[in-house]
Every structure is written in structure tokens, then in C-alpha cells.
């Protein structure tokens, strides 16, 4: 029996989102139906909306969410209705070359499901695709059982939604990619949802000085509440200001969470000789960063990309739950507004303007 729910549909690349009714089929073999408690509005959703990242359309976006299983399909024996789950938009196949190396965040088959038809729009019967596998911008969704993980005990489901992308990415960027060590100095570029998670994670890692960098002066209080010891407003002298704060040496680690060429270059320039720069932000193909051969030799820095925080959700979610339970990680502090489905377009506009942290759709 089909189920009708409300969802935010992207009808075409660059088009406004439509809040409309969709029709979900019952879960098939290996699938589950999940009633969403909350879904975070991530910059990647904006990138899907404007075409920076490509997915088949029309689609239901949203990839950071948590909820309750309401039905399971045939052959699903490890999940049952009533269980709380966190959505995992990047399930690993376990068999491709990346997975065989343990690099599950680079799984070659993680996004094969985005081309599937998973639902239909009620008003015209149009086929709908799940934007990044899980289609979390809806009251309910039907996903592969591989796309859900048990929600951590003691974490409210609305807060647990943030674990599915922002926190796994920010935490992983600091602990897995940059491998921040106690006593090191860290600069985080971008104080949005992922950046705030990275700030908290660098504090957990024992960073001695933690510099937040953002275009908006209004984010200083938010950044300091996440652990920043200093705050720098983006200018033509950003790297120089950061170096001045670190005895003209530069930081040990820079984490770039913006995805703009200028921010990546500034992050690189703010890092000390022999330091590490990790790029988390997703930029367009037109965002070109240039280096000359002499500076690469002279500075001896490491520049690395970072996909999904280089995280393994099955391994890392229990670790993050431990930090939440111990009071070291404050999920609620990442959220600057709680909205309904109708509030997603405005949340997109705020991201473009550099405003706020994480907007959370609460159902």
C-alpha cells in the first residue's frame, strides 16, 4: 500500500524547491521506510540545487537525517519498526577497490542509488529520484537498509540527524584527515554546520589555539561557543592575520570548509612550513587554485582533499555518541534555526549570504 507524505522536490536544476505531496511505495526487498524526526540543511543540498553537484531530477533532496523505522521490506531482519536510525547517504559496498583498502568514504558504488526512481509526485505522477540516496527532505522516505545505522542511545533523534553529515564530516576532517594532535594550532575556515563541528572536534583533539575564520563578523560568538580562541574576519590579509596570531609561523593545521578557491589558497598560506591543509568544502569546477613549484618545495606543506570526513559511519557514530554523552560534543550548539519544509529555500539563501550555522528541519 502506498503512502502519501509532504516533501521538498527539486523539479529541475536551478529551479525553486516545491513543497508538494509525493507517493511512496511500500518498502521492497532490502528496503525500509523511515519517518523523519529531523533533517539538516547542508551546503551540499544547495550545491545539488544549483547544479554544482549533479543528480537526476526531479529529486527529493536532503541527506542528513534521523528518524524511526515504520516498515521493513522482505529479507530485512536486522531492523524492526520502532527503531531509531540515522540516515547514511554514502553506504559502502564492501567490494570495490576503495572498500577493499578500508577507504569506505571513497566507495565507487556509494551513489548508484541516486539514479533510481523511489517515489512519484502526486499531482502529475512524475518519477522522483532520491537526491543523495536518502531523500530526507520529506516526512517519510524509503531507503536501502544499507543507508541506515542504529541511532545512538541517549541522543535525541532530532539532534542525531546532525551526525549523518555535518558532524561526521567535521569530526573526520580533524581526526582522520588532518589528524590534529594535542597542543597543535588549528584554523577552521567557515563557521557553518561543518565548520562548527570541526571547531568542536579540534577542541576535543586538544588544539592549543583554535582560530575560526569567516566572512561574517556575526558568527564570532557562535564560533567561540564551539571552542574558538580567536576569530578572524575574511579580508585580503587573512593569512597574514593568522600568522600574526601564531608568532608569524602559521598554524599547524588549516581546515577549509568553504569550497572557494580564495579560501583554499588562504588556508594554505596560513599554514606553517611543514603544516597540513585539509579541504572539506565542495567547490565548482570553475574554482581553480594555483601554486608555483618553488613554494611547494619551500613550504613542505601537505594539501589533502577530504570526502565525508574520511569517515566510516559504522565505526565513528559510536565514538561520536561517546563524546556527546560525556558532554564534549554539543550537537544542539550547531543549530541556529529550526524550521519546517517551507523554510528550506530561506535556509539556502542564508547559506549563500554566509549567515548562521546549521538549519534543522524538524518534523
Candidates 205, 215, 189; CA nearest to 277 is: 189
Query: What is the reported pLDDT for 353?
Result: 87
Residue with cell 533510481: 116
Q: Collect all residues with Cβ–Cβ distance below 8 Å to 124 and sequence separation of at least 6.
A: none
Residue with cell 518498502: 27
Q: Each residue of 62-113: pLDDT tens digit?
A: 999 999 999 999 999 999 999 999 999 999 999 999 999 999 999 999 999 9
**CATH code matching the domain that covers 3-164+330-362, chosen among 1.20.1250.20, 3.40.50.720, 3.90.180.10, 3.40.640.10:** 3.90.180.10
The model's confidence at residue 192, banded by pLDDT at 50, 70 and 90, is: very high
Give dist(CA 243, CA 234) in Å, integer: 14
Average pLDDT over every residue of 220-232: 97
Radius of gyration in angstroms for the set of CA atoms belonging to the chain, rounded to a whole number: 20
The CATH code of domain 167-307 reads 3.40.50.720
The model's confidence at residue 157, banded by pLDDT at 50, 70 and 90, is: very high
**Residues 337/310, Cβ–Cβ less than 8 Å:** no
Query: What is the reported pLDDT for 357?
Result: 87
What are 359's strand-pairing partners? 41, 337
Given a cut of 90, whether residue 355 has pLDDT beyond it is: no
CA dihedral 143, 145, 146, 149 (to 10 degrees): 100
Residue 130, H or E segment = strand 127-130
Give dist(CA 351, CA 65) in Å, integer: 19
Phi, psi of 170 (to 5 degrees): -65, -45
Q: Each residue of 44-69: pLDDT tens digit?
A: 999 999 998 888 999 999 999 999 99
**Residues 125/118, Cβ–Cβ less than 8 Å:** no
DSSP string, 204-260: HHT-SEEEEEES-GGGHHHHHHTT-SEEEE--TTHHHHHHHHTTTS-EEEEEE-S--
Given a cut of 90, whether residue 144 has pLDDT beyond it is: yes
The ranges assigned to domains in the chain are: 3-164+330-362, 167-307
Distances (CA, A) of 291 to 138, 288, 299, 303, 306: 43, 10, 11, 11, 19
- Cross-sheet strand order for the sheet of 271-279: 230-233, 209-214, 185-189, 251-256, 271-279, 302-305
How much is the mean pLDDT over the chain?
96
Query: What is the reported pLDDT for 1?
Result: 81
Average pLDDT over every residue of 144-173: 96
Give dist(CA 361, CA 344) in Å, integer: 8
What are 64's strand-pairing partners? 40
Please report, rounded to a whole number, the percentage of residues in the chain having pLDDT higher than 70. Answer: 100
Query: What is the reported pLDDT for 356?
Result: 84
Residue 303, H or E segment = strand 302-305
Given a cut of 90, whether residue 38 has pLDDT beyond it is: yes
Average pLDDT over every residue of 192-214: 97
The three-state secondary structure class of 182 is coil
Amino acid at each position: 500500500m502506498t503512502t502519501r507524505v509532504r516533501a521538498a522536490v527539486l523539479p529541475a536544476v536551478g529551479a525553486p524547491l516545491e513543497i508538494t505531496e509525493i507517493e511512496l511505495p511500500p518498502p521492497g526487498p532490502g528496503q525500509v521506510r523511515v519517518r523523519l524526526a529531523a533533517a539538516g540543511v547542508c551546503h551540499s543540498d544547495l550545491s545539488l540545487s544549483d547544479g554544482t553537484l549533479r543528480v537526476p531530477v526531479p529529486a527529493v533532496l536532503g541527506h542528513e537525517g534521523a528518524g524511526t523505522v515504520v516498515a521493513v521490506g522482505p529479507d530485512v531482519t536486522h531492523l524492526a519498526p520502532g527503531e531509531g536510525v540515522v540516515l547514511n547517504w554514502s553506504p559502502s559496498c564492501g567490494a570495490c577497490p576503495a572498500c577493499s583498502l578500508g577507504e569506505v568514504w571513497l566507495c565507487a558504488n556509494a551513489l548508484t542509488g541516486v539514479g533510481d526512481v523511489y517515489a512519484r509526485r502526486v499531482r502529475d505522477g512524475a518519477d522522483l529520484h532520491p537526491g543523495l540516496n536518502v531523500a530526507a527532505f520529506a516526512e517519510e522516505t524509503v531507503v536501502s537498509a544499507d543507508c541506515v545505522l542504529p541511532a545512538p542511545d541517549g541522543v535525541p533523534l532530532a539532534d542525531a540527524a546532525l551526525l549523518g553529515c555535518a558532524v561526521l564530516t567535521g569530526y573526520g576532517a580533524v581526526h582522520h584527515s588532518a589528524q590534529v594532535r594535542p597542543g597543535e594550532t588549528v584554523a577552521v575556515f567557515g563557521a557553518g554546520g561543518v565548520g562548527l563541528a570541526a571547531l568542536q572536534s579540534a577542541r576535543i583533539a586538544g588544539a592549543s589555539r583554535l582560530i575560526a575564520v569567516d566572512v561574517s563578523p556575526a558568527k564570532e560568538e557562535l564560533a567561540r561557543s564551539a571552542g574558538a580562541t580567536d576569530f578572524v574576519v575574511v579580508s585580503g590579509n587573512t593569512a597574514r592575520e593568522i600568522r600574526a596570531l601564531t608568532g608569524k609561523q602559521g598554524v599547524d593545521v588549516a581546515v577549509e570548509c568553504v569550497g572557494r578557491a580564495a579560501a583554499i589558497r588562504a588556508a594554505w598560506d596560513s599554514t606553517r612550513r611543514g603544516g597540513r591543509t585539509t579541504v572539506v568544502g565542495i567547490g565548482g569546477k570553475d574554482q581553480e587554485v594555483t601554486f608555483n613549484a618553488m613554494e611547494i618545495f619551500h613550504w613542505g606543506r601537505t594539501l589533502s582533499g577530504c570526502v565525508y570526513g574520511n569517515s566510516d559511519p559504522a565505526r565513528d557514530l559510536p565514538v561520536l555518541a561517546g563524546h556527546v554523552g560525556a558532554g564534549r560534543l554539543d550537537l544542539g550548539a550547531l543549530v541556529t534555526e529550526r524550521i519546517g519544509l517551507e523554510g528550506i529555500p530561506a535556509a539556502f539563501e542564508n547559506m549563500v549570504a554566509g549567515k548562521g550555522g546549521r538549519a534543522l528541519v524538524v518534523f
